[in-house]
Amino acid sequence: MSAEATNPEAHPEARPELRRRGRSRLDLRRLGRAALLGPTSRDRLPDAIGHVAEAHRAHHPDADMSILRRAYLLAESSHRGQMRKSGEPYITHPLAVTLILAELGAETTTLTASLLHDTVEDTDVTLDQVRAEFGDEVCFIVDGVTKVEKIDYGAAAEPETFRKMLVATGNDVRVMSIKLADRLHNMRTLGVMRPEKQARIAKVTRDVLIPLAERLGVQALKTELEDLVFAILHPEEYEGTRALIAAHAGESDPLPGIADSVRTVLREAGIAAEVQVRPRHFVSVHRISRTRGELRGSDFGRILILVGENADCYAVLGELHTCFTPVVSEFKDFVATPKFNLYQSLHTAVATPEGYVAEVIVRTRQMHRVAEAGVVALGNPYATATPDAAADPDEERVDPTRPGWLSRLLDWQQSAPDPDTFWTVLRAELAQDREITVFRADGGTLGLPAGASCIDAAYAQHGEAAHGCIGARVNGRLTSLSSPLSDGDTVQLLLAQDASSGPSAEWLDHARTPAARIAISRWLESHPDRAMATTTAARAPLSVVGVRGGGANAVADLPDATVRLAGCCTPVPPDAVAGFLVRGGAVTVHRIQCAAVAQMRAVGRTSVAVHWRATADCRVTLLAESFGRPHLLADLTEAIAREGVEVVSATVEPPVEGRVRHTYTLQLPDAAGLPALMRAMRDVPGVYDVSRA
């Protein structure tokens, strides 16, 4: 980190969000000279951090600035004489990082730690000195950043690098906030590096730090990092996009006129709102140019509307859709259903009479602050923690991210068998751009990536105990474990009582979360025989035939005719039945509701009257639908035997998506016992339906 320095004016056009800020861009060289040479009185802040104090007071008017003054003086004296590769005094780097965080609204503790974030690594200052001077909380954050700084960022060490980084930063998201701001300043000042080193740093930033910024909701950092990475890794496309934006700057922009019309509509409706035109950043323009082809003037920006209350967002939306033509497919409500990274806004698009389509974002001012700064805007997210939490690095802290994805990362990274697996799964996890929340049967909630299945929910709720999961109820309906879940679903997981139960290899085809995939893979590796059995090609149905069969107890009004009960519907007393004469002079007996009855009549089969004998015994075929598990056939056969019923034959089909279909032909001593038999079969764990064939 300390080595990454260069010209602060590199790629200025890639930072449109900075131009939109009211505060002018700082001259870091001037600040560096002031830090080294400028006189400072004891009763006021040093001139070099005046801009930091100004930005901090804008968000926290009552903040105590004395701690910032003391932190700056310690950092300046510790780094005195150190220079960056560009020739700037080194103190300009922690100052710039702190200013970035101050503009985002970070609280005083974070800014204090940011000023000191390189002192323990690069100077003689110790953690004990930091703790004695600034307290446990600042020391805890500085220690976390120092651990990240000591990580080797060599290409070969990349997977293990980010495993260590997650462990170092995961216990306090403020550590990651400082790391992101630090990387942003280094990316801004990357020009003095060799091209190959610039590319390596940019790739690491692209693969992990930008997705982490997205996860933390820090859009202001994420968008600028994207532009800087874009300029380094794709210079030709970057230049093409820059030319597009430059050409648009010379044309008439329709968005200010549309914004004026929106202001008029809202003013006449009595809605207090601030309407802005927000230019798109470079990567955003590049993306839409690839999807839309030739861009029009309204494609280079969006209209942002800021209001006071949540209800005002929907009032604005109603006026927009009333006074303009809405593009229905563009409407998204992230106010009622916030995104995984705390983001809330209403998104819509409206068409004007001139044929322009303008994208519109509606949010409250608080939503806007969180949208720009993410977890940084939360202040101290651990304020409710116990006072000793900062002193003990092993103390578990509440995860401020929604709905706890950071905790999940820390959990499954411990189970990843090797760095390469960790790296692959980490990138897949960070690539997820949407999360869903499902409700557990006990009233709790689970946060899962979009597209997650019941298998993912099982491992998220039960951990390794989910190996014995045999099915699930989603919104009260039985379903297979492979069924995908939707936002707001209620899921109840069904676990087998048999401790030997385990997952099949098919589960990996439906698992989306790292925790589920790693747990399933580890179980299959430790049970190779079971894994081989579950991956064997489809087998022929297993058939079990009883030692003797029973005679039919239906009588046809046709002398000497052989009577057979149809296997398609297996009629039993007292079912209403119909008989038909078939080849060989036999009479087949069907239930009246059977579809074969209409077919027999359609082909002209001779109808024969049939009645039941006085004997109560009968033969019936039942279908049992179940979730696959060991010993299921034995348990079902035992349940049938307890009812005093004889199994004539049984067929078990190969499992499909974890579900198994059993077909039983049974000889009942009394037809009246059929309902009790079916209930007994349904009570067998794993069986979710029993019906007549």
Assigned token pair, 413: 């990274």
Which residue reads 């794993």 in tokens? 686
- Provide the pLDDT for residue 124: 86
* Beta-bridge partner residues of 332: 347
Which residue reads 């697996």 in tokens? 421
Query: In this predicted model, which residue has the larger pLDDT, 690 or 514?
Result: 690
Assigned token pair, 586: 């036999």
**Three-class SS state of 580:** strand
Q: Measure CA of the first residue to CA of the last residue in the chain; give whole Å.
A: 71
Going by C-beta distance under 8 Å and a sequence separation of 6 or more, which residues neighbour residue 118?
A: 1, 2, 75, 79, 90, 93, 94, 149
Kind and range of the H or E run holding 302: strand 301-307
Going by C-beta distance under 8 Å and a sequence separation of 6 or more, which residues neighbour residue 166?
A: 409, 410, 413, 426
CA distances to 108, 190, 230, 462 from 199, rounded to whole Å, are: 34, 10, 10, 43
Which range, of 158-167, 337-346, 651-660, averages the lowest pLDDT?
Answer: 158-167
Assigned token pair, 42: 């004891």
Query: In this predicted model, which residue has the larger pLDDT, 317 or 353?
Result: 317
pLDDT of 552 above 70: no
pLDDT of 432 above 50: yes
Look at the alpha carbons of 275, 276, 277, 282 in this order and tell me if their dihedral is positive or negative: negative
Question: Rounded to an integer, what distance in angstroms lies between the CA atom of residue 165 and that of residue 176?
Answer: 9
Residue 338: closest CA among 360, 310, 315, 318? 310
- Provide the pLDDT for residue 388: 46
**Three-class SS state of 437:** strand
Assigned token pair, 168: 């170092």
Q: How confident is the model at residue 660 (pLDDT cuts 50, 70, 90)?
A: confident
Buried b (16+ CB within 10 A) or exposed e, 78-99: bbeeeebebebbbbbbbbbbbb
Within its chain, how far is the Cα of 371 from the centroid?
18
- Provide the pLDDT for residue 314: 94
**Using H for helix, E for strand and C for coil, what is the string for 94-142?**
HHHHHHHHHHHCCCHHHHHHHHCCCHHHHCCCCHHHHHHHHCHHHHHHH
Query: In this predicted model, which residue has the larger pLDDT, 63 or 400?
Result: 63
- Provide the pLDDT for residue 406: 62
Reported as a single tens digit per residue, the pLDDT across 361-392 is: 999 999 999 888 888 877 776 665 444 444 44
Which range, of 16-20, 343-347, 352-356, 557-561, averages the lowest pLDDT?
Answer: 16-20
**Using H for helix, E for strand and C for coil, what is the string for 309-378?**
CHHHHHHHHHHHHHHCEECHHHCEECCCCCCCCCCCCEEEEEECCCCCEEEEEEEEHHHHHHHHHHHHHH
Phi and psi of 445, rounded to 5°?
Answer: -125, 160
Question: Rounded to an integer, what distance in angstroms lies between the CA atom of residue 559 and that of residue 526?
Answer: 66
pLDDT (average), residues 120-134? 88
Known catalytic residues? 121-122
pLDDT (average), residues 416-445? 69
Helix 365-373 and helix 219-233, axial crossing angle in degrees, nearest 10: 40
- Provide the pLDDT for residue 224: 92
Assigned token pair, 235: 């210079």
pLDDT of 43 above 50: no
Q: How confident is the model at residue 409 (pLDDT cuts 50, 70, 90)?
A: low
Q: Are strands 435-440 and 490-495 parallel, antiparallel or unpaired?
A: parallel
Reported as a single tens digit per residue, the pLDDT across 183-199 is: 999 898 888 788 888 99
pLDDT of 435 above 90: no
Question: Rounded to an integer, what distance in angstroms lies between the CA atom of residue 534 and that of residue 531?
Answer: 5
pLDDT of 334 above 80: yes
Q: Which amino acid is at 232?
A: I
Which range, of 108-122, 514-528, 543-557, averages the lowest pLDDT?
Answer: 543-557
Assigned token pair, 511: 């698992």
pLDDT of 180 above 60: yes
Q: Which amino acid is at 191?
A: G
Q: How confident is the model at residue 607 (pLDDT cuts 50, 70, 90)?
A: confident
Assigned token pair, 222: 């994420």
- Provide the pLDDT for residue 325: 92
Phi and psi of 556, rounded to 5°?
Answer: -100, 145
- Provide the pLDDT for residue 551: 37
pLDDT of 637 above 60: yes
